[in-house]
Chain A
Amino acid sequence: MAVLEKSRKVVAESLIGQRIPKMDAPEKASGKTRYIHDLDLSGQLHARILRSARIHARIKSIDTRAAKALPGVHVVLTAADLPDQRPIGVAKDHFPLKGEVVRSQRDEIAAVAAESVEIAEAALKLIRVEYEDLPVVADARAAIAPGAPLIHPPRQGAPAGAAVAYTGRPDNVAMRFDYSHGDVIQAEADSDVVIEDSFKLHYVTHCCMGVSGVIAEFDASGYLTLYSNTQVPFLHKREFAEYLNMDPARIRIIQPPIGGGFGSKLDVYPFEVICVFLARAAQRPVKLVFTREEEFLASPTRQPVLLTLRSGCKKDGTLTFRTVHTLHDNGAYTSWGATTPFVMMQTFSSLYRVPHCDYHTTAVYTNNPYAGSFRGYGNLQATFAIEQHMDMLADAIGMDPLAFRLKNAQESGEVTGQGMVFKSCGFKDCLTTAATRSDYVVKRAAYRARQKDAGAVKRGIGMASMLHVGGGAKIYPSDGCGTMLKMDDFGALTLITGASEIGQGSETVLAQLVCEELGLPISAVTVVNNDTDITPWDVGVHASRTTFIAGNSAIGAAKKAKAKILAAAARKYECAEETLDLKGGFIVRKESDEALIELAKFIRGLHFSDKAELVMTTFYYEPPSVHQDKGFKGDVSATYAWATQVVEVEVDTATGIVSMTHVTGAHDVGRVLNRLGLEGQIEGGVIMGQGYALTENLMVEDGRIRNPNFRDYKLVTAPEIPAMDVSFIESMDGEGPQGAKGVGEAPAICIAAATANAIENATGVRLFELPFTPEKVYRALHGQTEKLYWAPWKPE
């Protein structure tokens, strides 16, 4: 805070690197925050959705007469009522309400809007559906086998270039990704050691504590307001307009505080469009909120992957090549999960210096739940394979795995085979810091020596590292964000940003960055970030981009405001602008920090003059990154984040229980902006990684989710968390806001891979399949697992 001494000198500490509490925390900790579940509009109806009783079937008939006749029911809709439905989703391969065929357990068949949830539920029970079962494809390998039943069979008569929902597919392949640099065949011939293994990555889901919900309301002139949990309001506005055959200018999206995101709200889901259909038909506001069971059944999952990795190196520890084949199970429809190869191939091609790399993904349709985007976006899966191979290659040539990693680690200035440019790179610092603080080298040798000792409980230590975009990701032609800044006559700021807040603390970091430029305390700022009618454009909260992109945008707006203020002050005090500065709520002389005038007073003067000038600025920031070319090459992010995590475990060999005791992390974050918020992101991500590694498992059998509840879908609980030691490497990125990088996804990425390495260190047994639940570990320790091998399917 500013202290004005007798000298009139202003003293104020920088806000950067401080522990600044989240601005909305007091409301949240009072129970006063109104999430979507807590909002009710007058005249509102409640909606419920009837989902398929079958996994794959033709719908023969739907009888809604009894439901429509139930008192309190306003609208019952099926596909037959909506002949103008348009296909939705990343590949436009399904309709919100399914009329002909259901392809998964979650498929939406009918929807009811009624005066209460209870009435809507009772109405669902009165809807009669006749099905004719079709063969179920419950496994990605089965989906690409010759003669496999087709999930979206080709259809006659659709116009060329139409969406999959109209045309179908001649096979079950939804997407393919093929990338390469160098010559892996030659590189393999030149390798001293070559290893190949298959890895199996399972289904997990976001489990946001607040279940999904939406409220749709049309005003008298047909203008739609959506209260939505979306993470990408502006892109969704356009998508909704397309799905609803509306003018996007007549759609407003308001984002009430959200009970967790983690990537789950990147796509438009059927329930949201259905809710709008109901509101349109009922001419009343309609609210649709999931139950927890529905949240499990009808939310996206993390992308399940079968992956075969072939890697080689020379005796001196130089990596030679990698060849990767993955089979992605999309589920019945294509959502963002299918596109995780964009991230996965970066890790394979560029986490370490790999001169030769081939990467191939086939994403296929099955009758399983469909996979979406989830914090880490394919990187947990890729890192799981790579970092196990790093240990295995090191062991194969008798080299310490830390030294092996250091030898191949990227450095600043590197341009990778995929065209990524590492302008700031703290990877080696991450490796050495995490290794030193965890005593990795000594412990690894000691635990290995004790593998055969008596006693059921073994200890192990394992390491893994990651590379992830840290300066946005140019997935769309623009990766930008807009900011508007307004200062009132009392020196209070309104920061209007396109960036969405999903609990990660973006509003606090953005306020901090702006205040740092303008020499104001955080308390001077109000952040507006949740209404597309007010906020400037942005491409959404994903890809760890908000601090970096929205931060640079906010700084840009603040700099313009500052320039405006100082120009006016320079006129008033008849001095050069460059000799003035803003500090502690004052306009000061830069050299001496001598206060000239209180900023608020000065702004009042600006307003109350015959040449009134308002301090309102806008800025749009577009990062200096490029869209990938057709070969997936290009520098897609303005900067990249790095991390190394070391995990220590105890393995009870009599039960297979793996306890995570310590996690030591070192993260290249560019620069620490808000230490409190940053620690929170890292710790939360580490525990999400722990769940992925050890406890969470969405059990999908024959297309059906067996455990849609927290009893059997086990999130980590408080007593299970490891001791966490987190270090920050400040590589001071030249493009980053105050030098910072985006890190939201980073902490979850390495944990499973490091845990696999730690279990191997403890027991001598390596596990290739997640999660490491007690029975799976116990079976592996007793030789009860078959060697996992997935022979990559090669297009002819």
Chain B
Amino acid sequence: MNQGIERYLAPQSLDQALFALQELGEVTLLAGGTDLMPQAKAGRAKFKRTLMNLRGIPELKGVSREGNTLRLGALATITELLHDPLVGEHLPVLREACDHFASDQIRNAATLGGNINNASPAGDTLVPLLVLDAEVELASRPDEAIYRRRMPLSEFFVGPGKTRRAPAELLSAVLVPCPAPGHVARFYKFGARPALDISTISIGLAGVRKNGHLENVRVAFGAVAATPLRALATEEALEGRQLDAQTIARVAATARQEVQPIDDLRASAWYRQELVHNMLTRMLEHVAQN
């Protein structure tokens, strides 16, 4: 029945897409559709007057290296990331998260940009990207030229389904610095299954290993707050400290305090805190031993 869509656009270039966005304002963006379709059917998402299919935009595709930065196109699917040699070489922690992402059929359709823009607190790629210091690139065309701004991913999320992307902007790419030598990163997603599960909690951990401790530590959690988030107090408790049992215990305790999850049908807040504590402990022990 009438969902209120008055126009369907399938732009073939970024320029076309941005021009239309600037002109029309009220646009529902379609990439893989794996979130949009069920949300629309269930009435959780309302279509705007224009439906814009982004699939035909070549500028949003692919993974490339630009100097010391990996550029992940917003239309890169989870499967493409899973098998991409650059991602495999430089960002194994992102690859790991992609492996735990939904099912093969969904990985084949779902895009990185979609996962980020959907801004679910449990979004599977978000936590690893946070610990990799990823930035989002937002493109717009306020006049004749295409304008691109960058924003750290950690600042991008406002709440569930809400981001700092302006209506006339497109998320064009995710930029990830190539990690330095000695960089270690881990990802953990809670679940009794390898995949096809919504995170009850997820944990990202990264740092550069030096003489038995980690520097430039990044810790992030998913599904413990309204947005995926960096855990600054936990990072501080770990930064530069000898990775021994005492440190691990203190870091895990800090993390349990720092997260403020909610009770929902998937888990209680208490249990999420326990998982954060126990699994961060396990990850740190794993880092210490390897």
Given contacts A118-B1, A122-B1, A712-B265, contact A778 B196 (CB under 8 A): no
Min C-beta distance of A554 to chain B, whole Å: 42
For A658, what are the chain B residues with a Cβ–Cβ distance below 8 Å? 192
For B196, what are the chain A residues with a Cβ–Cβ distance below 8 Å? 717
For B197, what are the chain A residues with a Cβ–Cβ distance below 8 Å? 714
CB closest chain-A residue, reference B274: A778
Q: B8 within 8 Å of A by Cβ?
A: no
Min C-beta distance of B55 to chain A, whole Å: 25
From B193, B274, B275, A720 is in contact (CB under 8 Å) with B193
* Binary contact track B250-290/A, C-beta < 8 Å → 1, others 0: 00000000000000011110010011001101100000000
Q: B20 within 8 Å of A by Cβ?
A: no
Q: Is the CB of A654 within 8 A of B192?
A: no
CB closest chain-B residue, reference A719: B194
Min C-beta distance of A659 to chain B, whole Å: 7
From A659, A699, A711, A720, B198 is in contact (CB under 8 Å) with A711
Min C-beta distance of A596 to chain B, whole Å: 59
Q: A368 within 8 Å of B by Cβ?
A: no
Min C-beta distance of A716 to chain B, whole Å: 9
Given contacts A659-B192, A720-B193, contact A775 B278 (CB under 8 A): no
* Binary contact track A747-786/B, C-beta < 8 Å → 1, others 0: 0000000000000000000000000001100110000000
Q: Is the CB of A655 within 8 A of B265?
A: no
Min C-beta distance of B229 to chain A, whole Å: 22
Q: Is the CB of A694 within 8 A of B192?
A: yes
Complex alpha-carbon distance, A162 and B66, angstroms: 81
Interface size of B by CB at 8 A reads: 19
Min C-beta distance of A365 to chain B, whole Å: 26
Q: A657 within 8 Å of B by Cβ?
A: yes
Complex alpha-carbon distance, A654 and B283, angstroms: 12
Min C-beta distance of A501 to chain B, whole Å: 30
- Which among B196, B197, B267, B268 has the highest number of chain A CB atoms within 10 Å? B196
Given contacts A121-B1, A711-B198, A712-B265, contact A655 B190 (CB under 8 A): yes
Complex alpha-carbon distance, A658 and B193, angstroms: 11
Complex alpha-carbon distance, A122 and B1, angstroms: 7
For A775, what are the chain B residues with a Cβ–Cβ distance below 8 Å? 267-268, 271
Q: Is the CB of A712 within 8 A of B274?
A: no
Q: A706 within 8 Å of B by Cβ?
A: yes
Complex alpha-carbon distance, A121 and B267, angstroms: 34
B interface, by DSSP: helix, strand, loop or mixed? loop
Q: Is the CB of A655 within 8 A of B1?
A: no
Q: Is the CB of A779 within 8 A of B192?
A: no
Q: Is the CB of A654 within 8 A of B265?
A: no
Complex alpha-carbon distance, A121 and B1, angstroms: 9
For A659, what are the chain B residues with a Cβ–Cβ distance below 8 Å? 192
From A711, A712, A774, B192 is in contact (CB under 8 Å) with A774
Min C-beta distance of B286 to chain A, whole Å: 12
Min C-beta distance of B262 to chain A, whole Å: 14
Q: A695 within 8 Å of B by Cβ?
A: yes
Complex alpha-carbon distance, A231 and B268, angstroms: 40
Given contacts A712-B265, A779-B271, contact A719 B279 (CB under 8 A): no
Complex alpha-carbon distance, A278 and B80, angstroms: 50
- Which among A122, A694, A778 has the highest number of chain B CB atoms within 10 Å? A778
For B194, what are the chain A residues with a Cβ–Cβ distance below 8 Å? 719
From A118, A694, A706, B265 is in contact (CB under 8 Å) with A706
Given contacts A719-B193, A774-B192, contact A712 B278 (CB under 8 A): no
For A661, what are the chain B residues with a Cβ–Cβ distance below 8 Å? none
For B1, what are the chain A residues with a Cβ–Cβ distance below 8 Å? 118-119, 121-122
Min C-beta distance of B217 to chain A, whole Å: 22
Q: Is the CB of B266 within 8 A of A655?
A: no
Complex alpha-carbon distance, A118 and B275, angstroms: 44
CB closest chain-B residue, reference A711: B198
Q: Is the CB of B267 within 8 A of A655?
A: no
From B193, B265, B271, B281, A778 is in contact (CB under 8 Å) with B271
For A122, what are the chain B residues with a Cβ–Cβ distance below 8 Å? 1
Q: A707 within 8 Å of B by Cβ?
A: yes
Given contacts A706-B265, A707-B265, A775-B267, contact A655 B279 (CB under 8 A): yes
Min C-beta distance of A245 to chain B, whole Å: 36
Q: Is the CB of A654 within 8 A of B271?
A: no
Q: Is the CB of A712 within 8 A of B271?
A: no
From B193, B198, B268, B275, A655 is in contact (CB under 8 Å) with B275
Known: A119-B1, A775-B271. 4 other contacts (CB 8 A): A658-B192, A714-B197, A719-B194, A775-B267
Interface residues of B (CB under 8 A from A): 1, 190, 192-194, 196-198, 265-268, 271, 274-275, 278-279, 281-282
Report, nearest first, the 6 A-B pairs whose CB atoms are least far apart.
A654-B278, A775-B271, A122-B1, A706-B265, A657-B192, A118-B1
Interface residues of A (CB under 8 A from B): 118-119, 121-122, 456, 654-655, 657-659, 694-695, 699, 706-707, 711-712, 714, 717, 719-720, 774-775, 778-779
What are 23 A-to-B residue pairs whose CB atoms are below 8 Å?
A: A119-B1, A122-B1, A456-B282, A654-B278, A654-B282, A655-B190, A655-B279, A657-B192, A658-B192, A694-B192, A695-B192, A699-B265, A706-B265, A707-B265, A717-B193, A717-B196, A719-B193, A719-B194, A720-B193, A774-B190, A775-B267, A778-B274, A779-B271
